Amino acid sequence: MAIGIKVILFGPLFDGCEVFLLADALASVQIISSNAAHAPTLQILHSLLLSLPEFTKLQPNVFCSHVFGRVNVLADAASRGKLQLVTSICSQMGVLARQLSVSARASEFLSQAKTCIRRLRQESEQIGDSADSPSVRAQSQS
């Protein structure tokens, strides 16, 4: 989900450029690199990412890489709301830290993802409930 939001917020700035998407979620990198997801929830997120016009414009020039641990301190601190650490690291790098508002478009993407995932879970629960019903159990035993 974070990659989709970042593509919405920053993608237009890099139209026509090579873009390196760095993520600490290995599954996200593998899905984008292979253009396939296996888990239903990740299939939803991947499909939503592919449907973004911002991603479509970037896609021919997108490279994905997995980053983690000490290499990812700044992004990790930002994602965990450790703003004082973010400010400190940026200051040491001579960079001004600035917190951005999430655009309406990014909020819509997040809302759409949550709705699709919630629907998937409800459908899965209904299938599970019907599999536990006496008539289904009787049919499966015969």
Bridge partners of 64, per DSSP, are 21
Confidence at 132, pLDDT banded by 50, 70, 90 = low
Q: What are the boundaries of each domain within the chain?
A: 2-127
**Distance between CA 48 and CA 44 in Å, rounded?**
6
Could you report the per-residue pLDDT of 28-86, keeping only the tens digit for each? 999 999 999 999 999 999 999 999 999 999 988 999 999 987 888 888 898 889 999 99
Whole-angstrom distance, CA of residue 44 vs CA of residue 37: 9
80-95 pLDDT tens trace: 899 999 999 999 999 9
